[in-house]
């Protein structure tokens, strides 16, 4: 395990995934019944943006820093408020120095009755996570393989909640683990919400993922993607995507407001990438996943899978 999230914390892909994560949590808080979140690849929980790693990559300057200094509409500001308030709570004096990872954002949105299980396999990151989230009886931190946790901890006893799956994709197997892990977990807990992040460096892996999930026959899936740079360079993250199973019913329209705003902040890759990956055959469901992507001139998409 060589992946270290401190190089990438707060980049455009983190903003994208964390904004979606916080919308889902906001929705779960809408009912009094308790929920549980299982964060399978949790990372260290907090990231110092002045660290050598963050300084060296500088990725957060093009992510959270740009978002915080951008002018956004009142509608989008309201949708991003649960996320941006949690970021702000980790910083003082209006200065951005610490970026919260997924378990910290999740904890910020737990109520007394809610629970979080956060798994991290890399020993140093696990130690940091345990330190950063210590002293909260609602939170269980485990040094455990997230793919094992995905199967072992569903369904949670609350029968409401979210599984957040955010692997590092340093091993080629993570794309296929997403399909096998999700389909097995969904068989055990069909009503849970699942949010799976994936990188976009080219279209091949992402479109194969969509086709394989299409064949798995999950009934309610939303696919959201943004593109900020040309695809095709395997060393560069050009975009990011999320597969959202059983999404809150409001999420599609919320993302239709949030994603174009993020693209305006980050600068989208635009039309240049429109054509890639669209030529596919297959079932109607598979085609709607593919053909809906990046309509002319757009660098974002939200594609419901069940249309
Ligand atoms: C993309 S980072 C997670 C970032 C975090 N979810 C966030 O949003 O702040 C992926 C993390 O997964 C950890 N990891 C790698 N393989 C793992 C595994 N099999 N099980 C659990 N964690 C793993 C890595 O050490 C890394 O910290």
Q: How much is the mean pLDDT over the chain? A: 89
Read off the pLDDT band of 280 (50, 70, 90): very low
Range of the domain at 242: 5-304
Report the half-sphere exposure of 139 (CA within 13 A, side-chain side). 24
Clarify whether 205 is annotated catalytic: no
Model pTM above 0.85: yes
148 lines ligand 1 (CB under 6 A): no
Is residue 270 pLDDT above 60, yes or no? Answer: no
* Bond prior to 155 in cis (omega within 30° of 0): yes
260 by DSSP, 3-state: which? helix
7, 20, 42: residue to mutate for ligand 1 pocket, most atoms within 8 A of CB: 42
The whole-number pLDDT of residue 269 equals 66
Ligand 1 center to residue 148 CA distance, Å?
13
Strand partners, 193: 162
**Integer Cα distance of 176 and 174 in angstroms:** 5
pLDDT given at position 230: 83
Which among 62, 166, 174, 207 is annotated as catalytic? Answer: 166
Give the residue carrying structure tokens 């929705």: 27
- What is the number of structural domains in the chain? 1
Weakest mean pLDDT among 101-105, 128-132, 170-174, 191-195: 170-174
Taking the CA atoms of the chain, what radius of gyration do you get in angstroms? 18
pLDDT digits (tens, 9 = 90+) for 196-246: 999 999 888 888 888 888 888 888 889 899 999 888 888 889 999 999 999
Strand partners, 221: 245
Taking the C-alpha atoms of residue 186 and residue 74, their distance in angstroms, rounded to an integer, is: 36
280 phi, psi to nearest 5 deg: -135, 150
Q: Which CATH number belongs to the domain containing residue 256 in this structure?
A: 3.40.50.150
Using one digit for the tens of pLDDT, what is the confidence trace for 171-208?
Answer: 878 999 999 999 999 999 999 999 999 999 988 888 88
Residue 184: helix, strand or coil by DSSP? Answer: helix
Is the shortest distance between the CB of 6 and ligand 1 below 6 Å? no
The answer, yes or no, to whether any atom of ligand 1 lies below 6 A from the CB of 231, is no
Q: Would you state the pLDDT for residue 171?
A: 80
Of residues 140, 148, 108, 117, the one with CA closest to residue 38: 117
* pLDDT recorded at residue 183: 96
- To test ligand 1's pocket by mutation, which of 100, 120, 195, 198 has the most ligand atoms within 8 angstroms of CB? 120
pLDDT at 286 over 80: no
């Amino acid at each position: 395990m060589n992946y270290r999230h401190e190089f990438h914390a707060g980049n455009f892909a983190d903003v994208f995934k964390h904004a979606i994560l916080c919308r889902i949590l906001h929705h779960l808080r809408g009912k009094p019944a308790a929920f549980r979140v299982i964060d399978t690849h949790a990372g260290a929980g907090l990231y110092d943006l002045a660290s050598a790693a963050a300084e060296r990559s500088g990725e957060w300057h093009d992510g959270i820093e740009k978002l915080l200094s951008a002018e956004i509409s009142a509608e989008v500001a309201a949708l991003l408020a649960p996320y941006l308030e949690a970021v702000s709570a980790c910083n003082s004096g209006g200065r951005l120095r610490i970026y919260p990872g997924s378990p910290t954002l999740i904890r910020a949105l737990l109520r007394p009755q809610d629970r979080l299980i956060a798994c991290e396999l890399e020993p140093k990151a696990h130690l940091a996570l345990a330190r950063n989230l210590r002293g909260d009886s609602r939170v269980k931190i485990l040094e455990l393989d997230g793919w094992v946790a995905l199967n072992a901890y569903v369904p949670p006893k609350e029968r409401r909640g979210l599984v957040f799956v955010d692997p590092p994709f340093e091993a080629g197997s993570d794309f296929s683990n997403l399909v096998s892990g999700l389909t097995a977990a969904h068989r055990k807990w069909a009503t849970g919400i699942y949010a799976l992040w994936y990188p976009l460096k080219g279209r091949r892996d992402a479109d194969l993922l969509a086709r394989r999930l299409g064949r798995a026959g999950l009934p309610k899936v939303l696919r959201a993607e943004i593109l900020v740079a040309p695809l095709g360079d395997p060393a560069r993250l050009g975009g990011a995507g999320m597969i959202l199973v059983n999404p809150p019913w409001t999420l599609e329209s919320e993302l239709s407001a949030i994603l174009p705003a993020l693209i305006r902040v980050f600068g989208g890759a635009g039309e240049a990438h429109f054509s890639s990956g669209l030529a596919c055959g297959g079932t109607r469901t598979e085609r709607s996943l593919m053909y809906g992507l990046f309509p002319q001139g757009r660098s974002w998409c939200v594609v419901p899978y069940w249309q």
